[in-house]
Amino acid sequence: MSADGCFIVLEGPEGAGKSVQATRLAEWLRTLGHNVIQTREPGGTPTGDAIRGILLQSDHLHLASETEALLMSAARAQHVRQVIAPAIEVGAIVVCDRYVDSTYAYQGGGLGLPMDRLREIQAFATGGVLPDLRILLDLPVEVGLARRHGDVDQINRIDRAPIEFHERVRTAFLGLAEADPASWIVIDTTVSIDEVTAAIRAAVSDRCGVREASL
């Protein structure tokens, strides 16, 4: 496929390197001459950022699982219509930090909400706009949490969940990737940041067909 209009999502547990690598990937694609939109979830729009505040602030500790799933999906519904679909429409490459699979992993795997209901909600929220490439940045839960806890300002409500929760999230992500290998690439991120960047570039070149002449 052509890289233009490609929708690339970075997924994975806390501290896997999604935010760092999303920025590096977007910058690299821009140097190759592509129009790139870098965005993230929950958020990506003023409405979504307001919802992100409720989801991640530690003063909402008693948020019901169903409320969490619906708020994540509400932010996503706005994000798809206001940012992602219009960007794809004009041929930009979209680099997104988390998308539907984070709902399956966190609210499904982590919180135990039924996957079939979550899939229905995602179909409604996304209107069928799904990633061309899902990159799972994978690492042991304790390694990722240790990385996050190195930066106290970054610790949010979901980071504070028990280790077993984060283990279920990781297992769910690995299961999603295993079930749909055509859509996913799994990258071990216990190696250096530069090595992860190189693996992501190789995957994006292979699956999204970035411009050969620029490589």
Ligand X SMILES: Nc1ncnc2c1ncn2[C@@H]1O[C@H](COP(=O)(O)OP(=O)(O)O)[C@@H](O)[C@H]1O
Q: How many CB atoms lie within 10 A of CB 30?
A: 13
Q: How many CA atoms lie within 13 A of 205 on its CB side?
A: 13
Name the packing angle between helices 141-149 and 163-179 (round to 10°): 120
Looking at beta carbons, which residue is closest to ligand X? 17
Compare residues 31 and 192 and give the one whose CB is closer to ligand X. 192
Q: Assess contact for 10 and 18: CB atoms under 8 A.
A: yes
Burial class of residue 181 in the structure, from the number of CB atoms within 10 Å of its CB (0-12 exposed, 13-18 middle, 19+ buried): exposed
Q: How far is the CB of 204 from ligand X (least distance, A)?
A: 17
Interface residues with Mg ion (CB under 5 A) are: 18-19
For residue 153, the surrounding DSSP H or E stretch is: none
**196 binding ligand X? (CB under 6 A):** yes
Q: Using CA atoms in the order 10, 177, 172, 80, what is the torsion angle rounded to 10 degrees?
A: 40
Show the site string, 114-153: x = touches ligand X by CB under 6 A, - = not: ---------------------------------xx-xx--
- From the list Mg ion, ligand X, none, pick the one residue 15 interacts with, judged by a Cβ distance below 5 to 8 Å according to partner type: ligand X
Compare residues 68 and 138 and give the one whose CB is closer to ligand X. 138
Compare residues 56 and 70 and give the one whose CB is closer to ligand X. 56
Dist CA 16 CA 113 (whole Å): 24
Residue 204, classed as helix, strand or coil, is helix
Q: How far is the CB of 65 from ligand X (least distance, A)?
A: 21
Contact region with ligand X (CB under 6 A), list: 8-16, 66-74, 83-91, 162-170: 8-16
Show the site string, 13-32: x = touches ligand X by CB under 6 A, - = not: -xxxxxxx------------
Q: How many residues bind ligand X (CB under 6 A)?
A: 16
| Interface ranges with ligand X (CB under 6 A) | 12, 14-20, 147-148, 150-151, 189, 192-193, 196
